[in-house]
Chain A
């Protein structure tokens, strides 16, 4: 694989890197909020993957207008899917943070090791 081919997959490389960074943060950090930040980064990587695969070079929004029937359109379906996935991601993050708030109320800490020691 030569350099140009590597660069051609630029977005997918970024996807893989962000995905790994996010997963590493989830596993390595003991602070629960940092874990959730990692989870968010992890999910954002997938959004990037979906958006990348629907892009058609020179493509526009898929709206049919008079005189523009021959336009090249980007695929709208992955964008719709990822909009849904973003909503799911936001609700997961919100619920996760709500749980962290409750943990802070009941345990007085949000460090995982201190919580384990408390029980």
Chain B
């Protein structure tokens, strides 16, 4: 039997069904092995679809045999395939590395529950990427959010609890705004299928409710995506979460919300609402620029290693939104590539943090002085991923910075301002990454590590693989690049 046409459904169904089964796996090693094999399997599914999509295929799947627009449609084009690759890749690699770190941070009897929540988060995030139905996206968004609240609050740090409460409040407000938006669109068009919506919005005579809906949806998703200044939940939640959960969520959670935001605004609204594209960039471009500058500046003075990296995520989200708000093919390509490259760089950095956390309880920078002498390989991985975050040539981050700057140069008379801001924030990234490296390499050791030597082999191995991937995709960026430019072409098909 050929299962290729069923891959879009399997992408969600496999982790969703596996989650309750993992609960039953009692010895905790077994629960980890079960969850990891499911995540690796779903990474293989995403990879095989991405390879097909890169060659021009487009997966469409009618759930239960009910054709769209009556039934729920799953649809995987270049953009969704790229996001699926990021989500399932982040889950697979973080779970492969997770065992030791989770053993230290989560009580034995809670571990099956923890891994089950992890798989639910994966299923929800993958569901957002495959679904072509606006309401279905809402349900998957809430599945992934509820699961990630549980994951973040699961650690031993009590400060995680107030942070996750704030995240829950802001996340729910964001999701409810999105729900109001699709309710208004449904009221005017009578459909929930995104492609059908796009076709029918043009026939609506009174566009005011649609404009309101566009506002609600954009703000709701910007809250979920932590676009500056709606990002206040992010630094605390990522700082106090268990280390491996920070790796997983930092690599993919906000990116999926950005994906829905871009997809909704470009597919559904821009083709049909006169002037919507100008409002989109008028509103989001200043926020993106402010986010890039403010978050990078805050990160320069941050003392806690995890919070420093989490704050820098807000700036990186700014780059992605900046590229999208240029409304050009070059800008959108840069945005999509940066989704992928930032997941690699930030994933690599947080993996290295998880390695350090094995032997250093306190992750404030001054407590980590001289750690490179104790853990040379971890520190080397930190160097490579950090360079990729700054955008040093030869790493993946360089590709997206280069594309973003070349896209900015086409932006008319004020292009130099945009380029100056991107370069200034890259310099600030250089400063805060350098602060980490200086502490690790050149300061005399303050505190002795709990144990000498490197982190356990699986964790260290995955960290090094991700660091090498940063170089690999910097030298050979063809695959993510071809998916990204196909995605940009798809998003702009109305205006081209």
Contact = CB atoms under 8 A, between A and B. Distances in A.
A46 B165 contact: no
Interface of A is mostly: helix
A49 interface: yes
A21 interface: no
B165 A39 contact: no
Interface in B132-168: 135, 138-139, 142, 146, 149-150, 153, 158-159, 161-162, 164-165, 168
Nearest to B170: A26
A106 interface: yes
A43 B171 CA distance: 12
Chain A's interface size range is 20 to 34
B418 interface: no
Given A46-B180, A84-B139, A99 B161 contact: yes
B162 A103 contact: yes
Contacts of B187: 53
B146 A92 contact: yes
Contacts of A78: 183, 186
A84 B136 CA distance: 10
B179 interface: yes
Contact of B161 (A42, A77, A91, A106): A106
A107 B160 CA distance: 12
Contacts of A81: 135, 192
B172 interface: yes
Given A84-B139, A115-B162, A46 B183 contact: yes
Q: Which of B158, B164, B172 has the most CB of A within 10 A?
A: B172
A43 B183 CA distance: 13
A100 B164 CA distance: 10
A88 interface: yes
B150 A95 contact: yes
Nearest to B141: A88
A112 B165 CA distance: 10
B196 to A, nearest CB: 13
Interface in A25-73: 26, 32, 35, 39, 42-43, 46, 49-50, 53
Interface residues of B, number: 26
A44 B146 CA distance: 19
A102 to B, nearest CB: 5
B169 A35 contact: yes
B164 A99 contact: yes
Given A78-B186, A88-B139, A102 B172 contact: no
B173 A26 contact: yes
Interface string A88-119: 10011001100110110011000010011001
B193 to A, nearest CB: 12
B264 to A, nearest CB: 17
Contacts of A112: 162
B191 to A, nearest CB: 10
Contacts of B138: 85, 88
Contacts of B406: none
B173 A23 contact: yes
Given A53-B187, A85-B179, A103 B165 contact: yes
A88 B460 CA distance: 39
Contacts of B192: 81
Contacts of A92: 142, 146, 168, 172
A95 B149 contact: yes
Contacts of A99: 149, 153, 161, 164-165, 168
Contacts of A43: 172, 176
Cβ-closest 10 pairs across A and B: A106-B158, A88-B142, A103-B161, A53-B187, A115-B162, A99-B165, A92-B172, A102-B161, A96-B168, A46-B179
Interface of B: 135, 138-139, 142, 146, 149-150, 153, 158-159, 161-162, 164-165, 168-169, 172-173, 175-176, 179-180, 183, 186-187, 192
Interface of A: 19, 23, 26, 32, 35, 39, 42-43, 46, 49-50, 53, 77-78, 81, 84-85, 88, 91-92, 95-96, 99-100, 102-103, 106-107, 112, 115-116, 119
30 contacts: A19-B180, A26-B169, A26-B173, A39-B169, A39-B173, A42-B173, A43-B176, A46-B176, A46-B179, A46-B183, A49-B180, A53-B183, A77-B186, A84-B135, A85-B138, A88-B138, A88-B175, A92-B168, A92-B172, A96-B169, A99-B149, A99-B153, A102-B153, A102-B161, A103-B161, A103-B162, A107-B162, A112-B162, A116-B162, A119-B159
Given A49-B183, A88-B175, A107-B162, 6 more contacts: A35-B169, A46-B183, A50-B183, A84-B135, A95-B146, A103-B161
